[in-house]
């Protein structure tokens, strides 16, 4: 599933992979949220009820769309966070990987703390 993420200074397309967490996230759309930053990570509250996957991890590739179960939020790292070792994308806890951002994840640098986000399924 393709999801359009928009904010005042930009937009991105998220590609959600098949799986239970991604399906729950998709069912919660459209939605609006407030952006938060933690180093080079954007996260925003999107409350869905899921469990941590057996293959959950705390280190992912830049642009990975993650669901942070403990924080009931989508998290998308695009570079190092305060928890990172060197240049890795390390999240605060293990997360469910649910997809990827299409294109260059560094475009998320234009998202600021407190920005309003809109998420909606992309239509053809």
Q: What is the pLDDT of residues 46-84, one digit of tens each?
A: 989 999 999 999 999 999 999 999 999 999 999 999 999
The CA–CA distances, whole Å, from 23 to 8, 51, 64, 90 equal: 27, 13, 16, 24
Give residue 11's pLDDT.
95
* Residue 124: pLDDT over 80: no
We find that the CATH architecture of domain 2-121 is Beta Barrel (2.40)
Give residue 97's pLDDT.
98
* Residue 98: pLDDT over 70: yes
For residues 35-44, average pLDDT: 97
The CA–CA distances, whole Å, from 66 to 8, 9, 50, 123, 124 equal: 22, 22, 12, 22, 24
Give residue 82's pLDDT.
96
């Amino acid at each position: 599933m393709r999801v359009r993420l928009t904010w005042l200074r930009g937009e991105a397309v998220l590609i959600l992979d098949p799986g239970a967490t991604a399906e729950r996230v998709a069912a919660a759309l459209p939605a609006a949220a407030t952006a938060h930053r933690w180093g080079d990570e954007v996260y925003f509250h999107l409350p869905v009820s899921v469990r941590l996957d057996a293959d959950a991890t705390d280190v992912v590739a830049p642009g990975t769309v993650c669901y942070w179960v403990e924080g009931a939020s989508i998290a998308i790292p695009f570079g190092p966070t305060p928890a990172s070792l060197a240049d890795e994308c390390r999240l605060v806890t293990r997360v469910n990987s649910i997809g990827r951002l299409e294109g260059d994840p560094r475009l998320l640098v234009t998202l600021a703390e407190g920005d309003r986000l809109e998420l909606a399924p992309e239509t053809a």
